[in-house]
Structure 1
Amino acid sequence: MGEGHEGLAALPLGRSWVGVNSRRDPTARSHPQPTSPSPLRGQGCVSTLATITPGEPEIFVALQGEGPSAGQPCAFVRLSRCNLACVWCDTAYTWRFESDTRPHRDGINFDRSDNQFVLAEPDVAERIGALGQKRLVVTGGEPLLQAAALARMLALLPPMTVEIETNGTISPPSTFDRRVAQYNVSPKLAHSGNPAALALLPDRLARWAAEPRAFFKFVIAEPADLAEVLELRDRFALPPERIFLMPEGRNSGTLRTRAVWLSELCSKYEFNLSDRLHIYSHGDTRGT
């Protein structure tokens, strides 16, 4: 789902080669290709994942880089596809494929066959379980586009704490209630380039506001963006302790500059500041 769901200090474990490829280069292959099962095209009970390299699904271990769980070791799985199109999205390889003409800062269209991988749900669960982590972050893209498949996959996991990252436009099914401990909801503001009619759905935001497991993370590029956050806070009675402001940026210099004035705004309004820790250690790369 773009800026707002990444990890830090990824490790090469099992069959996953991680932390190496540029998000923006769909042909980058810094590692040799690991042996992977063939994609299960056209079969039921599958999930569509993003890839680290062509043919290798983006399942990895890292420290969570953002939000309320920042700094905690986690397993990550990145699902493909998104229903929004943020102009600054740092995971456009999950949605901006060959025929997509929606604007994006980089102007790159990605080859779908290189950047998507269809994997049976038991295989997804097995790979996640093999990483041996106590916490799982499901990110995207927009994971809730695959809610039914995701619910089936979560039911196959060993006991672990699950958090899901979402743009807030889709309500989670009740089948998630037994497995999901935390939702990281990142509503997209006007500077994302998404029309409010698509990105800020009042009925969905009202439901998220009433969800005690939901935290709200807003990507901020300019101080003026705060006006939208305050309007949403007031309209939906969002508790300030569940609001995180995060600087938009894909390099450490931009993040540091914006964090200076963002920290002052957080202090003034009693919000939380979210950094993007993985950018400092790994840059703008996949599998981190």
Structure 2
Amino acid sequence: MMLPDPVAAPHEATVLLAEKFESIQGEGPWTGQRCVFVRFSRCNLTCGWCDEKSTWDWNRYHPAEVSSHVPVRELVAWVLERDVDLLVITGGEPMIQQPAMIALAAGVGSEVRVQVETNGTQAPQPELRELVDLWVVSPKLSNSGVDYGRRIVPSALKALRSTGRAAFKFVVADHGDFTEIDKLAADFGLDPATIWVMPEGESPAKVTAGVELLRGPAAARGWQVSTRLHILNDVR
């Protein structure tokens, strides 16, 4: 039986969860830091290179087998038991379950930093905005195979940028993607210091080659380069 869609039937006390685990952050500004990941199920996009298709691709997965409703209080207790100071809320797209995000972020308290990984298509509610220490926003490029109007939502990107706590991380598949990132940066007034580029790839060899592709163009623009430690070291 298919689980209810959280967009149609949100519930503040529960989250539609894909998985949770303890690891290190493998991407972006806080790479290498010990953390816990809470992965929300469901996504509003369908990127062709997505490495978490179990959160949305029901042609390949059955939702009842790869997700479950979990009380937020149980997740809060689990996070606090791990004795870490960084919680990463990711997906899928967690921002389609904002009431659950608010309850989780508030529940772990100020001793735990909260990082949210989002595709940037949803603006944060005011209460959530104040609970998040770092937004890692990943607007999708045309290499995702998703139409521009679905993957780029100007009002949401501007709202996230205005928090002053957002990093913008782009997945780069080839050299032509830089032109597209240049335009998005100009259109939305992104500070080069907040822009991160990361290679697309699910193998150590591809990630290593991708970092080499990125280094020169990124340095010339004042951007940052993110590796993918979890792939290079085969950890999660």
Scaled by the length of structure 2, the TM-score of the pair is: 0.92
Give, as a single letter, the amino acid of the residue that structure 2 aligns with 1:129.
L
2:220 aligned counterpart, secondary structure: helix
Is 1:240 aligned to residue 192 of structure 2?
yes
Kept after mapping to 2: 8 A contact 1:171/1:204: yes
Q: CA deviation at 1:258?
A: 1.4
Select which of 219, 229, 233 maps to 1:277.
229
Select which of 28, 45, 49 maps to 1:67.
28
Give, as a single letter, the amino acid of the residue that structure 2 aligns with 1:67.
G
Alignment partners' CA distance in 2, 1:216 and 1:250: 21
1:69 aligned counterpart, secondary structure: coil
Q: Tell me what 1:115 maps to.
A: 66
Alignment partners' CA distance in 1, 2:192 and 2:10: 44
Q: CA deviation at 1:84?
A: 0.3
What does residue range 31-46 of structure 1 map to in structure 2 within 5 Å? 44=11, 45-46=13-14
1:282 aligned counterpart, secondary structure: coil
What does residue range 143-162 of structure 1 map to in structure 2 within 5 Å? 143-158=94-109, 159-162=111-114
Give, as a single letter, the amino acid of the residue that structure 1 aligns with 2:80.
G
1:136 aligned counterpart, secondary structure: strand
Alignment partners' CA distance in 2, 1:43 and 1:164: 19
Select which of 127, 131, 140 maps to 2:82.
131
Kept after mapping to 2: 8 A contact 1:165/1:183: yes
Q: CA deviation at 1:211?
A: 2.4
Q: CA deviation at 1:164?
A: 0.3
Alignment partners' CA distance in 2, 1:257 and 1:83: 30
Alignment partners' CA distance in 2, 1:221 and 1:142: 21
Select which of 57, 78, 82 maps to 2:39.
78
Instruction: String of CA shifts for 1:96-134, please: whole Å, max 9, x gaps.
Output: 114xxxxxxxxxx11212100110110111111111101
CA RMSD of aligned residues (A): 1.5
Structure 1, gaps ≥5 residues long: 1-41, 51-57, 99-108
Kept after mapping to 2: 8 A contact 1:245/1:274: yes
Q: CA deviation at 1:254?
A: 0.6
2:133 aligned counterpart, secondary structure: strand
Larger proportion of helix: 2
Alignment partners' CA distance in 1, 2:40 and 2:125: 17
Kept after mapping to 2: 8 A contact 1:59/1:127: no
Q: How many corresponding residue pairs?
A: 226
Q: CA deviation at 1:43?
A: 10
Structure 1 residue ranges (4+ consecutive) displaced by more than 3 angstroms after TM superposition: none
What does residue range 10-29 of structure 1 map to in structure 2 within 5 Å? none
Is 1:49 aligned to residue 53 of structure 2?
no
Is 1:89 aligned to residue 42 of structure 2?
no
Q: Tell me what 1:31 maps to.
A: none
Kept after mapping to 1: 8 A contact 2:207/2:232: no
Q: CA deviation at 1:208?
A: 2.3
Q: Tell me what 1:17 maps to.
A: none
Is 1:219 aligned to residue 171 of structure 2?
yes
Structure 2, gaps ≥5 residues long: 1-8
Kept after mapping to 2: 8 A contact 1:59/1:128: no
Give, as a single letter, the amino acid of the residue that structure 1 aligns with 2:68.
F
Give, as a single letter, the amino acid of the residue that structure 1 aligns with 2:217.
L
Alpha carbons of structure 1 residues 123 and 43: separation in structure 2 relative to 1, 3 Å = farther
Q: Tell me what 2:119 maps to.
A: 167
Alpha carbons of structure 1 residues 271 and 122: separation in structure 2 relative to 1, 3 Å = same
2:29 aligned counterpart, secondary structure: helix
Structure 1, 131-140 or 154-163: larger mean CA deviation = 154-163
Q: CA deviation at 1:61?
A: 1.2
